[in-house]
Structure 1
Amino acid sequence: MRTPGILIFGMVLAPCGWILDLTATVAPSWRTLNDIPNTPPSEYIEQGIWDICRRTTSSVRPECGLEDTTYFGHQIIEVAQGMMVASLVVTLVGIAVAIPGVRCWKDRPNWTMAGLGGLLIFCSGVLTIIPIAWYTHIMNDISTVTPVINVQVGYCIVLGYIGGIFEVLGGFVMFIGICRCCGGKNRGEKRLDRVMATQYRNNPPPRPTIMPSLDRTRSNASSSVPYSKESLDDDVSFPRAKTPGAQSVNSSVMAWSRPPSSSLLCGTSADE
């Protein structure tokens, strides 16, 4: 039995979501501060949940490790750090639980283990979406020592949303495999009557072969054929040779039935 589609779907989206969440966690680009006073127009600051970097459009290497106690002391930063790390760990645990349940090296998958792994992956996606959505909602209200003129969303927010949605969808689809619904279609199963009908269409039963009867020993009265044995023997298109036994019998019969010749009769009358 091949792996059901819902398990393939979940096992593909879960690692992809984990990679996107990992990038969103470690990269310092949750928001971007532009038009900072007393700085060149080409300079901007990127803030994440672990680090803050100063970049310019002309330089390639950013200046990271900036201190901002007011920013890192905000409640959302502490919550985001804990929930994003927990999301990464739960995703790995869910994938590890789901792998032996998906195939388990048997004909049929272990739906209980696969569903439990899908539930863990679903929870990890929720753990990712909650802090990112909260951070996006209060992004302009987060205090910082740097006077902020223009605040823009960083690419980590976009990657975190996509990764969390991947994990939520993949985990939910794997979890619904625990319950057998839609006639087993959610598990990739087919109904028995449809399988039998498909096999019947592909391999129809052979037609019975009717052989003509060649038995001629039945009597004419019990035979339903409108001709007799003699007619079958006479109706030939080539001369049939007679058997020697038949010729001897016919010759002896003709010899006894032949009348006496005239010479024998005349000789007998003269003697008398």
Structure 2
Amino acid sequence: MRTPGIIIFGLVLSPCGWILDLTSTVAPNWRTLTGLSGQSSDTVLNQGIWDICKSFTTSSSVTCNLRSTDQTYFNNQIIPVAQGMMVASLVVTLIGLAVVTPGARCWRNRPPRWALTSFGGVLIFCSGVLTIIPIAWYTHVLPSLNTTTTFSNPNSPGITVGYCIVLGYIGGIMEVLAGAVLFVGVCRCCGGKNRGEKPVANTGPTRYTARPRPEPYPRTNAPSTTSSASTPAYSRDPLDDELDFPRAKSQSRGTVNPSYNGKPYDADL
């Protein structure tokens, strides 16, 4: 039996969203700071929820493990909350995939276990929500997060959103969609379809069956007919059209009138 499309859709989106969430959790680029006081103009400070890294726009050198230099930033309320919820989202996604995989039965010729698949969809949906909540909260308080870093122009600090925020939003939305389509299986299970793991009989329209064609008439028994078109046009005497009286019937050669007893002449031959 072919795997339903909603299960394939969910099995494809869930791992993709999990990878994006993992990158967003580990990478230290939730917030980018530029225009730092006492630093060169090309210095960029990348702040994440686990670490802080310093990079330069004019070179490829990157320095990480700077967590101890700005402990005030990690004391913000959102940081420990984001750490716990992002890790919980990754774990719940793995559990949901572990539940959905045997329920899908992609390798067996039997209908999927809709109840088990739907439960896994609920877990994946919750994991997407666990990702979106800290991402949205961090984005809301991003300009006002406390930090020991000072700026050259306090009236116009260079604070921008990092790429981890974008990846987190995309990954969370993908997991929410994946969990929603997998949860649709509850409707099919509760509606009576596939209950007891029995395939649903096909009630679609039957195909039209063509009637057998009759056997052709044997050529050996076909009546022979002579077409008038087979007679050449030149077989008719052209003088017949010019005569205004009927011609006498001609006798076949080699026959002689029996009532005539005289000797034949040359003109009669």
TM score, norm. by length of structure 1: 0.69
Offset of 1:59 from its aligned partner?
2.7
1:206 aligns with 2:208: no
Offset of 1:206 from its aligned partner?
3.3
Counterparts of 1:108 and 1:190, CA distance in 2: 9
Offset of 1:39 from its aligned partner?
1.1
Alignment of 1:47-196 (within 5 A): 47-66=47-66, 67=68, 68-103=70-105, 105-148=108-151, 149-180=157-188, 192-193=202-203, 195=204
Counterparts of 1:17 and 1:110, CA distance in 2: 23
Offset of 1:103 from its aligned partner?
1.0
Indicate if the aligned counterparts of 1:13 and 1:170 stay in contact, CA closer than 8 A: yes
Match of 1:29?
Answer: 29
Deviates more, 1:101-110 or 1:153-162: 101-110
SS in structure 2 of the partner of residue 90 of structure 1: helix
Q: Which has the higher helix share?
A: 1
Q: Aligned partner of 2:134: which letter?
A: P
Indicate if the aligned counterparts of 2:72 and 2:146 stay in contact, CA closer than 8 A: yes
Deviates more, 1:120-129 or 1:65-74: 65-74
Indicate if the aligned counterparts of 1:183 and 1:191 stay in contact, CA closer than 8 A: no
CA deviations on 1:68-123 (whole Å, 9 max, x unpaired) are 11110111000000000000000000000000001163411111111111110000
Indicate if the aligned counterparts of 2:120 and 2:179 stay in contact, CA closer than 8 A: yes
Offset of 1:208 from its aligned partner?
9.8
Offset of 1:61 from its aligned partner?
2.8
SS in structure 1 of the partner of residue 185 of structure 2: coil
Counterparts of 1:21 and 1:207, CA distance in 2: 63
Counterparts of 1:49 and 1:27, CA distance in 2: 8
Going from structure 1 to structure 2, the CA distance change for 1:171 and 1:5 (only over 3 Å counts) comes to same
| Percent identity between the two aligned chains | 57
Offset of 1:190 from its aligned partner?
8.3
Unmatched runs of 5 consecutive residues or more in structure 1: 210-272
Counterparts of 1:115 and 1:143, CA distance in 2: 42
SS in structure 2 of the partner of residue 121 of structure 1: helix
SS in structure 1 of the partner of residue 60 of structure 2: coil
Unmatched runs of 5 consecutive residues or more in structure 2: 152-156, 194-198, 215-269
Q: How many residue pairs end up in the alignment? A: 202
CA deviations on 1:102-156 (whole Å, 9 max, x unpaired) are 1163411111111111110000000000000000000001010012411000000
Counterparts of 1:64 and 1:163, CA distance in 2: 25
Q: Aligned partner of 1:110: which letter?
A: R
Q: Aligned partner of 1:155: which letter?
A: Y
Counterparts of 2:61 and 2:185, CA distance in 1: 48
Q: Aligned partner of 1:7: which letter?
A: I
Q: Aligned partner of 2:158: which letter?
A: N
Counterparts of 2:173 and 2:16, CA distance in 1: 11
Indicate if the aligned counterparts of 2:104 and 2:113 stay in contact, CA closer than 8 A: yes
Q: Aligned partner of 1:21: which letter?
A: D
Counterparts of 2:83 and 2:29, CA distance in 1: 14
Offset of 1:42 from its aligned partner?
0.5
SS in structure 2 of the partner of residue 200 of structure 1: coil
Alignment of 1:249-260 (within 5 A): none
SS in structure 2 of the partner of residue 145 of structure 1: coil
Q: Aligned partner of 2:89: which letter?
A: S
Counterparts of 1:133 and 1:63, CA distance in 2: 28
Going from structure 1 to structure 2, the CA distance change for 1:99 and 1:18 (only over 3 Å counts) comes to same
Offset of 1:191 from its aligned partner?
8.0
Match of 1:253?
Answer: none
Give every structure 1 segment of 4 or more consecutive aligned residues whose post-TM-superposition deviation is greater than 6 Å: 181-184
Offset of 1:192 from its aligned partner?
4.1
Counterparts of 2:178 and 2:121, CA distance in 1: 7
Indicate if the aligned counterparts of 2:114 and 2:188 stay in contact, CA closer than 8 A: no
